[in-house]
Amino acid sequence: MDAIPFTVAAMFGSERVREEVVKPWLEDVEGRYIGCWGVTEPEHGSDYILAFRDRDVESFGRGNVVIERDGDEWVIYGQKSAWVSAAPICTHMGLHAQVKDGKSLREGAFVIVPLNKLGVRKGEPVDMLGNRDCPQGPVFFDGVRVPEDYVIALSPFYEVFSDQLLNITSVNMGAFSVGLARAAFEEALNYAKTRVQGGRPIIEHKNIKLKIYEMFEKIVTARHYVVKAMDYVYNKFFQLSFDAAPRYARTAQIYAKKIAFEVVNDALQIFGAYGLSSEFIIEKLFRDARALLIEDGTVEALSLDAADDVIQNYK
């Protein structure tokens, strides 16, 4: 998600936005420019996803981050929650904010916000169970001013844009989940070949052989579906057709997340007690896989969103 503000700016930003935001990021060889995706708020987590498809526009309440126009600038107030990945270290945010006097989260704006702006304050990183290499923390906005062309999307385009952006993040999370599952599988396979119990390597025991095959089967099927969904979503997005059906992208994320957790859980079981120790990386992978079931939208909320799309639009 760290590329979201930059890629969106590259695709939809003005010439000035591309010069000030995209060009430095493209030329950065030291990793100084880091993006984050400002979605979740103290009162809005996974429901931010559902809000884009729910027709009851007031059902989710008001946003905790509000933006209003002031002349040729926009002013931002409020707080994004502690669950914004990379927020403590990022330089730019792709921010979702509700337009002042809007009725719901769907009446919002997507804004590129350089986080060195006056009025931005970052909170402390949260001590997380998993994905600790990507710190999460809150961001506060106290009258932060951005130029008008830094506001990339407003209603009614905002709703369509946000839905398609969620498609991109969904297939990306699917790919991330498949990679995590594969890493756990390979760790377990290598361990099983060298760990001796009962007088022989445990890979020779039939129950371990069966687990290894089942893990492989799950990874292969998840990878093939995610690749297909990613091809579909990215082609639609970069052609600017904005009509990719969300059910396919959500399924890629949901299915791959579940597979990742199942595979890592089985891999840890192969390690036995060693899998509970930080001596082996499988312990970290297990924590990361568990975190995935919540991050970027819980699997339950994503499933409901996909279900709505199936019910409303499947033909």
| Domain end marker among 119, 154, 189 | 154
Nearest 5°: CA angle at 101, between 99 and 107? Answer: 45
pLDDT higher than threshold 80 for residue 32: yes
The reply to whether 195 and 89 lie within a common domain is no
Query: What's the rounded mean pLDDT across residues 117-124?
Result: 97
Residue 59's pLDDT is what? 56
Q: What is the pLDDT of residues 139-149, one digit of tens each?
A: 999 999 999 99
The reply to whether 146 and 173 lie within a common domain is no
CATH of the domain at 18: 2.40.110.10
Query: What's the rounded mean pLDDT across residues 264-280?
Result: 97
Query: What's the rounded mean pLDDT across residues 278-307?
Result: 95
User: pTM for the full model?
Assistant: 0.93
CATH of the domain at 221: 1.20.140.10
pLDDT higher than threshold 60 for residue 102: yes
d(CA 255, CA 227) in angstroms, rounded, equals 13
Residue 70's pLDDT is what? 97
The reply to whether 302 and 234 lie within a common domain is yes
Q: Domain range spanning residue 95?
A: 4-154
The reply to whether 215 and 194 lie within a common domain is yes
Residue 48's pLDDT is what? 76
Q: Are 48 and 40 in contact (CB under 8 A)?
A: yes
d(CA 149, CA 111) in angstroms, rounded, equals 9
The reply to whether 123 and 214 lie within a common domain is no
The reply to whether 224 and 307 lie within a common domain is yes
Q: What is the 3-state secondary structure (H, E, C) of the chain?
A: CCCHHHHHHHHHCCHHHHHHHHHHHHHCCCCCCCEEEECCECCECCHHHHHCCCCCCCCCCCCCEEEEEECCEEEEEEEEEEEEECCCCCCEEEEEEEECCCCCCCCEEEEEEECCCCCEEECCCCCCCCCCCCCEEEEEEEEEEEEHHHEEEECCHHHHHHHHHHHHHHHHHHHHHHHHHHHHHHHHHHHHHHCEECCEEHHHCHHHHHHHHHHHHHHHHHHHHHHHHHHHHHHHHHCCCCCCCHHHHHHHHHHHHHHHHHHHHHHHHHHHHHHHCCCCCHHHHHHHHHHHCCCCCCHHHHHHHHHHHHHHHCC
The reply to whether 95 and 122 lie within a common domain is yes
- Domain count within the chain: 2
The reply to whether 34 and 132 lie within a common domain is yes
Residue 58's pLDDT is what? 55
Residue 54's pLDDT is what? 59
The reply to whether 164 and 86 lie within a common domain is no
The reply to whether 240 and 301 lie within a common domain is yes
| Domain end marker among 154, 181, 210 | 154
